């Protein structure tokens, strides 16, 4: 096995020549900016994060500004990035830091990990990138590099695989140039040692890479031992339209998918949806059924059966606590899931909502639902 203590020596010259040095969070890498970027980068590609990061830190330039924001403001800026619990945790942690530490992020791993949404790897990234302190990280890119280079065959999601990779990450992290090393190993995983079709010819670690030697680069990191089919859930959503392009929205519960965002009224089945229409608009209510759309999340697939109801003058009767009218032609600044926003836009422009390719488990496009084949396998979640 290669000497883990020599990894940085091989990697840093490559980073100096080929690494990424102009990412927005690298300019003035304060603990706050590093924290925000690391949270956004969880399960999300760099190119996707960049515009969201710029907008977010422009609106909330420091911990105090974020702590003073409402959840709705934060989720509005997060809309389209997916995994909304990350935004809620950022807000909760900022408020805790202001209340307990006067707005200054802690600088120890234990204190950082005590904040909502900060785990071992995120804490390590903040310490390494913002403070230059020796602290290991183990995000998806780093896991892939270490698993291949050191030929770790265990599944990284299991206790044995995770323990082995963390052990290697700790040993590999150097005492000097910690920030550069941390960015370097992430860059190598993101641009060279990629999940699909790794470019081994360009890799500075290739001569000693165990996976390359054994021809296993495409198979490592190991997959989950037993692939399980994700369950399929089904809901109905109602687009209540009134004159002028207004659409009825309701606030979702803070937990669950799209937690805390505004969305269309949701029902477990069409009978409940039709009963709701009759109860509020009378028997004259005639909602129109639209094609079923499918969303793929990390752990399940969701079929959305949308219904459209043009309520006209009777729409005033559906106003209740926790609901608002949202104008799709002149949208307001509220947190709205991107798939729901696209569904609204499609209906307002006379279509039946989007029917595009498969999503990646965050806020990618919707697709028309098709019956599952017995042999079909759910798509992998993109990182």
DSSP 327: E
**Which residues have CB under 8 Å from 374's CB, separation 6+?**
none
Spatial contact of 189 and 141, defined as CB atoms under 8 Å apart: yes
Four-residue CA torsion sign, 323, 327, 330, 331? positive
d(CA 165, CA 377): 28
Residue among 38, 288, 352, 357 flagged as catalytic: 38
**Which residues have CB under 8 Å from 281's CB, separation 6+?**
309, 311, 314, 317, 318
Per DSSP, helices labelled H in 306-353 are 338-348
Q: Is 212 helix (H, G, I), strand (E, B) or coil?
A: helix
**Which residues have CB under 8 Å from 3's CB, separation 6+?**
none
| Residue 332 CB burial class (10 angstroms; 0-12, 13-18, ≥19) | exposed
d(CA 82, CA 44): 9
Q: How, if at all, do strands 323-327 and 288-289 pair?
A: unpaired
In the block, tokens 């989007």 appear at 354
Q: Phi and psi at residue 217, in whole multiples of 5°?
A: -55, -40
Of 166, 211, 273, nearest to 1 by C-alpha is 211
d(CA 367, CA 354): 7
197 catalytic residue (yes or no): no
Planar angle of CA 275, 243, 348, nearest 5 degrees = 85
Q: What is the DSSP string of 330-371?
A: S--S----HHHHHHHHHHHTTS-----S---SSS---EE--P
Spatial contact of 247 and 344, defined as CB atoms under 8 Å apart: yes
In the block, tokens 């090393």 appear at 181
The set of catalytic residues is 38
């Amino acid at each position: 096995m290669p000497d883990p203590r020599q990894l940085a020596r091989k990697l840093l010259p490559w980073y100096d020549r080929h690494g990424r040095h102009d990412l927005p969070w690298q300019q003035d890498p304060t603990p706050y900016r590093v924290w925000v970027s690391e949270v956004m980068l969880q399960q999300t590609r760099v190119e996707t994060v960049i515009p969201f990061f710029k907008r977010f830190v422009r609106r909330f330039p420091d911990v105090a500004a974020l702590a003073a924001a409402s959840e709705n403001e934060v989720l509005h800026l997060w809309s389209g990035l997916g995994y909304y619990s990350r935004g809620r945790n950022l807000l909760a942690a900022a408020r805790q830091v202001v209340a307990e530490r006067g707005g200054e992020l802690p600088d120890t791993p234990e204190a950082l990990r005590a904040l909502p949404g900060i785990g071992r790897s995120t804490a390590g990234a903040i310490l390494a990138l913002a403070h230059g302190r020796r602290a290991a990280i183990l995000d998806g890119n780093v896991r892939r590099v270490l698993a291949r280079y050191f030929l770790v065959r265990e599944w990284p999601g299991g206790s044995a695989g995770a323990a082995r990779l963390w052990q290697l990450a700790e040993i590999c992290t150097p005492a000097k140039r910690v920030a550069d090393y941390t960015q370097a190993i992430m860059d190598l995983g993101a641009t060279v040692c990629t999940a699909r079709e790794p470019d081994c010819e360009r890799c500075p670690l290739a001569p000693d890479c165990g996976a390359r030697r054994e021809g296993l680069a495409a198979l490592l990191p190991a997959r989950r031992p037993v692939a399980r089919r994700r369950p399929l859930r089904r809901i109905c959503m109602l687009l209540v339209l009134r004159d002028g392009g207004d659409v009825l929205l309701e606030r979702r519960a803070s937990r669950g998918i799209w937690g805390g965002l505004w969305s269309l009224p949701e029902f477990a089945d069409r009978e409940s949806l039709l009963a709701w229409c009759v109860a509020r608009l009378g028997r004259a209510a005639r909602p129109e059924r639209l094609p079923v759309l499918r969303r793929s999340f990390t752990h399940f697939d969701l079929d959305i059966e949308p219904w459209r109801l043009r309520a006209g003058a009777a729409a005033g009767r559906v106003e209740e606590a926790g609901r608002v009218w949202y104008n799709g032609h002149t949208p307001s600044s509220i947190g709205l899931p991107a798939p729901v926003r696209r569904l609204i836009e499609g209906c307002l422009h006379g279509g039946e909502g989007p029917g595009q390719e498969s999503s990646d488990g965050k806020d990618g496009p919707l697709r028309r639902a098709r019956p599952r084949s017995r042999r079909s396998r759910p798509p992998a979640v993109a990182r």
